[in-house]
Structure 1
Amino acid sequence: MKLPLEGVLVLEFAQYLSGPCAGLRLADLGARVIKIEHPEKGEAGRKLSIKNLWLDDSSLLFNTINRNKESFAADMNNAEDMETLRRLIARAHVLIHNFRPGVMEKRMLDYESVKAINPSIVYTQISGYGSKGPWAKKPGQDLLVQALSGLAFTTGSYEDNPTPLGLGIGDYLCGNQAVQFILAALIRSRKNGKGTLLELSLLESLIDLQFEFFTTYFASGKMPERAHHHNAHSLLSAPYGIYKTSDGFIAIAMMSLQQLNKMMESQVLTQFSEGDVFSKRDEIKVVIADLLLHHPNDFWIQKAQIFDLWIMPVLNWKQMKTSKGYQVLEMEQEIASSKGGKKITTTRCPIRINNKKLYAGKAAPALNEHTQQIKQSLL
């Protein structure tokens, strides 16, 4: 299958997660993505291990987020290497970097300098907090941005400490937002030959993620308040939340109390009206929680299906992997190490094109693996 971005050349001056995440998605869509790496150190993400897991000489994380790319070694402090990079930039359609403000400017690889080499290039710069202001040069690490953005106060219940999401949500979100606007800018460039400067930050992406909370706060002047019990969304009423049963947990989404009580058959719940679901949110949730403890997951799930209620079991990854709902998606793919040895299983691109799932099992590159080949084919 011919992929939409075949023929598009992307230069990835990026490290860790946000920039490489954008490059990964562009590669999944058919673009040729070349990582620009220091000849000796490589991209810093090569040493960012998750659970101390490694494949060859690089972290497991590096191998998963940099599959299907090429590695070009260049020292940006070396004049000869910089001249080579400028020649490569002249051939590129997209440039991505996620260095702190000032790094690319110092090396004369800022947008204006790059545009002088290649007027039609889509130049994408990702930062932690934007290019200006008191936080601009602070480390743009995901946990720190979650802390500053207020996101940590949306997770957990009222008495809990601020609770971060247990993954790099800002990095992944910002990287994928970058792809959306890169695609738009490529269409614009194809139409009129003009380049585009795209500027994104992890902080702005996480603020955008919380638009419901911010809009509510702007309108009311009041902070969204997490439920004291079983909080799942600070702006939603009872029964919305995750609850323990006698042998596991279930998630209950939006529904009226009358609907829920068809399943629960509780005299206590009849004492609450639909007008109480916000003002007495915690009282209602406590009643629901006590009732659910009397039976196992399967009992409640079967009853929920009878009444067509929005209720699901809460699965861990092992349970989800064995479920038919997961298996039919065929989300897994194998990739080998760049040295052709041990294989690892990771996830595929979550998009289908013309009913075709997108698999890209090409290994993440070894440092400097493609430098000579790229020079021969492009320079």
Structure 2
Amino acid sequence: MSRKDQISKPLEGFLVLEFCQYLSGPSAGLRLADLGVRVIKIENPGKGDLCRILPIKDQWVEENSLLFHTINRNKESYTANLKSEEELAEIKKLISKADVMIHNFRPGVMEKLSLGFEQVKNINSKIIYAEISGYGKEGPWAKKPGQDLLLQAMSGLMFNSGDRDDAPTPFGLAIGDILCGAQVVQAILAGLISRNRKGEAVKVEISLLESLIDFQFEIFTTYFVSGKRPLRSAVNNAHPLLGAPYGIYETSDGFIAVAMVPLQELKKALNCPRLEAYDQSMVFSKRDEIKSVLVDFLKEESTGFWMEKLQSRKLWATDLKNWKQLKQTKGYKEFELEQEIDIPGSKSIKTNRCPIRINGEKLWGAWPAPNLGQHTASVKKEFELNDKPV
């Protein structure tokens, strides 16, 4: 074991059972595992987490998708048929020894399996029980499929990216799943603190829709106050609530991003005659006009030329980098964000490390994602699950 694997982690000693598929629940389990939690995935024998067969860019590692490996490292896999009385009894015994249980099954599924919160609380009176849904457990949308793109469409998120006349533009990542997973981790940690104080079980509930609406708190608050949907800028939109010059601009050889910059300072830096017709009071009312002036003007010189002028006045601007360019920078290398995961019987894969540092130490986790049912026998033996059930 390398030195990186020997770093003491703050949540060592806690046990989490992850009854989850795809991204939201497993991303929460990944972060908890990064922080030292022991995470056991409870999977259906034969199929397992369906993320195992959900590829990204048709990339596979042995029989599992690269995506599965990306968010399931540092976990164990235990297979159980939850419709089998015997195997369900073993799972219940495992639950009695756990600190946290996470699931993202459709509403009502766990209750039918006698694994709903009230049922589980009778097994383990101090369990932190976290459930993730697409649209909550009740109401007209409860049974709708909780898939990320569909949630982006339902939440209004697609009207923030792109320009005003563009079609609704989705976020280019599974943002609902990842945000929801992060918020579940926050709630679980709060639940553990509460349990330590009160000695009682805690139920955590979150839906992807609520998570994505919370993500847009600026937009929704503005809408609540004004009664009008904030419109995207027609020119180089980067945030529908911010005035000129906020946006991305093409140069003669690349692109630059310009953030919140006072117009008077921008005039001094760029020496653009056409900007003289505008002042700070117009950055919202004349937003698209001002940005159109910049679109034409900034194409005349290189990225380096403009960055020198902007940075000389310490204005908030930067050049755009693709992933290859980013990896070549000294700043990126300084972070040490990459780690190798060795896959038995296959080549190693490179992925990101946990972004959190504890007491100055980076958190590494080089265990590969488990094969389906890889740890079933060892977990049964360790927790004596074949003995008299709970």
TM-score by length of 1: 0.99
Code of the residue aligned with 2:109 in structure 1: it is: V
Q: Which residue of 1 aligns with 2:388?
A: none
What count of residue pairs does the alignment treat as equivalent? 378
Match for 2:57 among 31, 40, 51? 51
Give the alignment of 1:173-322 within 5 angstroms.
173-322=179-328
Instruction: Indicate the SS of the match to 2:372.
Output: coil
Q: Which residue of 1 aligns with 2:387?
A: none
Contact 2:134 2:208 (8 Å CA) reproduced: yes
Q: Deviations over 1:30-50 (max 9, x none)?
A: 000000011111111100100
Instruction: Indicate the SS of the match to 2:101.
Output: strand
Tell me by how many angstroms 1:227 deviates: 0.4
Tell me how far apart the structure 2 counterparts of residues 352 and 378 of structure 1 sit (CA, whole Å).
Answer: 32
Contact 2:270 2:310 (8 Å CA) reproduced: no
Tell me how far apart the structure 2 counterparts of residues 340 and 260 of structure 1 sit (CA, whole Å).
Answer: 57
Code of the residue aligned with 1:153 in structure 2: it is: F
Q: Which residue of 2 aligns with 1:65?
A: 71
Tell me how far apart the structure 2 counterparts of residues 229 and 341 of structure 1 sit (CA, whole Å).
Answer: 48
Please tell me whether residue 41 in structure 1 is matched to residue 47 in structure 2.
Answer: yes
Give unpaired runs (5+ residues) of structure 2. Answer: 1-6, 385-390
Q: Deviations over 1:37-73 (max 9, x none)?
A: 1111111110010011000110000011000000001
Q: Which residue of 2 aligns with 1:169?
A: 175
Tell me how far apart the structure 2 counterparts of residues 304 and 357 of structure 1 sit (CA, whole Å).
Answer: 34
Tell me by how many angstroms 1:192 deviates: 2.0
Please tell me whether residue 342 in structure 1 is matched to residue 354 in structure 2.
Answer: no
Give the alignment of 1:59-138 within 5 angstroms.
59-138=65-144
Code of the residue aligned with 2:90 in structure 1: it is: T
Q: Which residue of 2 aligns with 1:352?
A: 357
Q: Deviations over 1:205-260 (max 9, x none)?
A: 00000000100000010110100000000000000000100111110000111111
RMSD of Structure 2 on Structure 1 (CA) = 0.8
Instruction: Indicate the SS of the match to 1:191.
Output: helix
Instruction: Indicate the SS of the match to 1:91.
Output: coil
Code of the residue aligned with 1:130 in structure 2: it is: G
Instruction: Indicate the SS of the match to 1:159.
Output: coil
Q: Which residue of 2 aligns with 1:371?
A: 376
Instruction: Indicate the SS of the match to 1:199.
Output: strand
Tell me by how many angstroms 1:376 deviates: 1.3
Code of the residue aligned with 1:343 in structure 2: it is: S
Code of the residue aligned with 1:73 in structure 2: it is: T
Tell me by how many angstroms 1:197 deviates: 0.5
Tell me by how many angstroms 1:340 deviates: 4.3
Code of the residue aligned with 2:19 in structure 1: it is: F
Tell me how far apart the structure 2 counterparts of residues 341 and 272 of structure 1 sit (CA, whole Å).
Answer: 61
Code of the residue aligned with 1:168 in structure 2: it is: A
Match for 1:361 among 361, 366, 371? 366
Q: Deviations over 1:326-352 (max 9, x none)?
A: 111110001122x34210000000001
Tell me how far apart the structure 1 counterparts of residues 105 and 47 of structure 2 sit (CA, whole Å).
Answer: 16
Tell me how far apart the structure 1 counterparts of residues 365 and 212 of structure 2 sit (CA, whole Å).
Answer: 29
Q: Which residue of 2 aligns with 1:30?
A: 36
Instruction: Indicate the SS of the match to 1:263.
Output: helix
Contact 2:61 2:346 (8 Å CA) reproduced: no
Code of the residue aligned with 2:235 in structure 1: it is: H
Tell me how far apart the structure 2 counterparts of residues 331 and 302 of structure 1 sit (CA, whole Å).
Answer: 28
Instruction: Indicate the SS of the match to 1:126.
Output: strand
Instruction: Indicate the SS of the match to 1:363.
Output: coil
Tell me how far apart the structure 1 counterparts of residues 308 and 366 of structure 2 sit (CA, whole Å).
Answer: 39
Runs of 4+ in 1 over 6 A off after TM superposition: none
Code of the residue aligned with 1:14 in structure 2: it is: C
Code of the residue aligned with 1:278 in structure 2: it is: F
Code of the residue aligned with 2:213 in structure 1: it is: I
Contact 1:264 1:291 (8 Å CA) reproduced: no
Code of the residue aligned with 2:266 in structure 1: it is: L
Tell me by how many angstroms 1:267 deviates: 1.7
Instruction: Indicate the SS of the match to 2:121.
Output: helix
Tell me by how many angstroms 1:106 deviates: 1.0
Code of the residue aligned with 2:59 in structure 1: it is: L
Instruction: Indicate the SS of the match to 1:237.
Output: coil
Code of the residue aligned with 2:193 in structure 1: it is: I
Q: Deviations over 1:287-306 (max 9, x none)?
A: 01111001111111111111
Instruction: Indicate the SS of the match to 2:96.
Output: helix
Tell me how far apart the structure 1 counterparts of residues 293 and 35 of structure 2 sit (CA, whole Å).
Answer: 49
